[in-house]
């Protein structure tokens, strides 16, 4: 299947959605009439099927941008160039489930790889208008962790951040910057066509400013870092009697995941570990039942998260194949859900935990959840369950999504350019409310500290250890 990183993954789905592109010629040019036709099609899809289009955007300003772009489509464009025009139009709605595909099997990338192209290799974090290096994956390892990038190829870093940010879908600023941080090396090529060697100006932790030439890494090595394996890991810290389980994606076979979790909680039981943390700081979502499965090791009481789900009826949903999972859900909604105009709504009291195959592994100690602005979609749902059901202590930064959120993404291909776009078809209302509109708020919010990068300190883990030690 084709690897696409949307900004996020599906909410309440049964796996990751990958677009099945059908051979668009990346060198082809589309004339102005074709481009305007595709633009109008996308505009219509957004207006007629998005369930919460103006929940975080202004209707007048967004329409102005559509009309402005349409008036400027007077010449021919390639597929990649047109994608760059469409991405900001969808990003303006501030909904991470509304986006243009990010395709890692495009003809353009295949050609770049075949020609020896390389991606900038730094793992970075973007904080406001600054880019900080967390790790240098370049074989020469010239840049120290905790260094700040000032420019790349003589382009000031604040200009780069602004241009990448404007094309990045996400629910709020921190979420969009978190996604730009994750995809930084790829985006520099996608936006500017840059390859190695890269010329950088960096400021080291001690304040020294110097120029660096980076040979970067191959496309294959970059993708290995971007798509990690395994998705589940566990680290044990004996001094704190702590096990930290990280999940980087809610994807994969449920039974195999259950086996993995059984093995983790067997070790936790054997070692009489009293503190367990689930690390979702790098988890963008997937199958929400995976999060519910994990929490089933902590509680068998009903889990609170959302209290309603609403489909917006549209021609796109009606036209889906009868055996498609989303069509089955929608057809059921037509028969049994409450109708209010073009919306079909069902209500929930709670989510039911899953029965453990090995009840003796049920954990009765202290639970913690680590979150960040990258914690999105179904991972955000797990944070909601923990917060609403008061299952443990949340540490980190607010999650990346609106409290009343969208989901059930439907991908469609534009008729001329064959560009895949993703638009949600349903919206959800949260079971519990906070004054903050964005993000599940941690019990303890940790601040970014560049000194932690320079000294290889995991900020949230260090805070968690201090919290445990303070209780001894």
Rounded Cα distance between 124 and 145, Å, is 9
Q: At what angle do helices 254-270 and 288-295 cross, to 10 degrees?
A: 20
Region of 77 on the Ramachandran plot (φ > 0 left; ψ -120 to 50 alpha; else beta): beta
Q: Model confidence at 139, in pLDDT bands (50, 70, 90)? A: low
CA atoms within 13 A on the CB side of 102: 23
pLDDT tens digits for 266-288? Answer: 999 999 999 999 999 999 999 99
Q: Model confidence at 308, in pLDDT bands (50, 70, 90)? A: very high
Query: Is 109 within 8 Å of 166 (Cβ atoms)?
Result: no
How confident is the model at residue 27, as a pLDDT? 61
Query: Is 67 within 8 Å of 75 (Cβ atoms)?
Result: no
How confident is the model at residue 42, as a pLDDT? 98
Q: Model confidence at 21, in pLDDT bands (50, 70, 90)? A: very low
Give the three-state DSSP class for 427.
strand
The two three-digit tokens of residue 231, written as one number: 């998705």
Q: Model confidence at 25, in pLDDT bands (50, 70, 90)? A: very low
What is residue 355's DSSP assignment? P
Give the residue, 228 or 118, on which the prediction is more confident. 118
The burial of 202, by beta-carbon neighbours within 10 Å (0-12 exposed, 13-18 middle, 19 or more buried), is given as buried
Rounded Cα distance between 13 and 203, Å, is 44
Question: What number is the average pLDDT over the span 297-303?
Answer: 94
Q: How far is CA 290 from CA 177, 257, 260, 400, in A?
A: 26, 8, 12, 19
Question: What number is the average pLDDT over the span 172-196?
Answer: 93
Least confident of 252-256, 301-305, 394-398: 301-305
Rounded Cα distance between 91 and 49, Å, is 16
Task: Provide the mean pLDDT of the chain.
Answer: 91
Q: Could you please report the per-residue DSSP string of 251-295? A: -S-HHHHHHHHHHHHHHHHHTT--EEEEE-TT---B-HHHHHHHH
Instruction: For the chain, give the percent of residues with pLDDT over 70.
Output: 94
What is the distance of C-alpha 375 from the center of its chain?
A: 7
Query: Is 201 within 8 Å of 150 (Cβ atoms)?
Result: yes
Q: What is the pTM of this model?
A: 0.90
H-run or E-run covering 339: strand 338-340
Rounded Cα distance between 41 and 424, Å, is 16
What is the four-CA torsion angle of 93, 97, 99, 101, rounded to 10 degrees? 170
pLDDT tens digits for 44-84? Answer: 999 999 999 999 999 999 999 999 999 999 999 999 999 99
Instruction: For the chain, give the percent of residues with pLDDT over 90.
Output: 84
Question: What number is the average pLDDT over the span 376-393?
Answer: 95
Residue 96's φ and ψ, nearest 5 degrees, are -65, -10
How confident is the model at residue 103, as a pLDDT? 79
């Amino acid at each position: 299947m084709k690897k696409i990183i949307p900004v996020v993954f599906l909410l309440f789905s049964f796996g990751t959605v990958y677009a099945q592109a059908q051979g668009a010629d990346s060198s082809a040019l589309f004339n102005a009439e074709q481009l305007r036709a595709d633009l109008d099609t996308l505009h219509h899809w957004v207006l007629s099927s998005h369930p919460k289009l103006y929940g975080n955007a202004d209707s007048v300003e967004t329409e102005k941008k559509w009309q402005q772009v349409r008036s400027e489509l007077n010449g021919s464009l390639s597929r990649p160039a047109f994608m760059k025009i469409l991405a900001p139009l969808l990003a303006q709605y501030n909904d991470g489930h509304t986006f243009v595909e990010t395709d890692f099997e495009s003809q353009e990338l295949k050609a770049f790889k075949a020609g020896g192209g390389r991606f900038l290799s730094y793992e970075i974090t973007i904080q406001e208008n600054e880019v900080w290096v967390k790790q240098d994956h370049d074989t020469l390892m010239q840049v120290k962790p905790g260094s700040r990038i000032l420019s790349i190829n003589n382009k000031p870093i604040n200009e780069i951040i602004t241009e990448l940010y404007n094309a990045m879908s996400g629910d709020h600023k921190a979420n969009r910057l978190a996604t730009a941080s994750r995809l930084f090396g790829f985006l520099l090529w996608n936006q500017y066509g840059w390859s190695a060697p890269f010329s950088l100006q960096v400021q080291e932790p001690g304040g020294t400013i110097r120029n660096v030439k980076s040979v970067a890494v191959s496309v294959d090595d970059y993708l290995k870092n971007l798509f990690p394996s395994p998705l589940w890991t566990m680290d044990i810290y004996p001094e704190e009697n702590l096990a930290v389980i990280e999940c980087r994606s809610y994807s994969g076979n449920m039974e195999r995941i259950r086996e993995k979790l059984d093995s983790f909680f067997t070790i936790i039981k054997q070692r009489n570990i009293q503190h367990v943390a689930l690390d979702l700081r790098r988890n963008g979502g997937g199958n929400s039942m995976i999060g519910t499965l994990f929490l089933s090791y902590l509680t068998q009481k009903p889990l609170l998260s959302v209290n309603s789900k609403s489909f917006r009826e549209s021609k796109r949903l009606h036209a889906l194949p009868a055996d498609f999972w989303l069509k089955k859900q929608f057809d059921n909604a037509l028969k049994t859900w409450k109708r209010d105009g073009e919306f079909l709504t069902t209500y929930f009291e709670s989510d039911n935990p899953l029965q453990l195959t090995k009840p003796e592994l049920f954990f009765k100690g202290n639970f913690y959840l680590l979150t960040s602005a990258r914690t999105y979609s179904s991972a955000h749902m797990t944070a909601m369950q923990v917060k609403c059901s008061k299952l443990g202590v949340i540490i980190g930064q607010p999650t990346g999504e609106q409290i009343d959120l969208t989901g059930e993404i439907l991908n469609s291909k534009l008729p001329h350019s064959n560009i895949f776009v993703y638009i949600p078809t349903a919206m959800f209302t949260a079971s519990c409310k906070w004054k903050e509109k964005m993000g599940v708020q941690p019990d303890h919010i940790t601040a970014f500290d560049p000194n932690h990068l320079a000294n290889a300190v995991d900020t949230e883990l260090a805070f968690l250890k201090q919290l445990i030690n303070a209780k001894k």
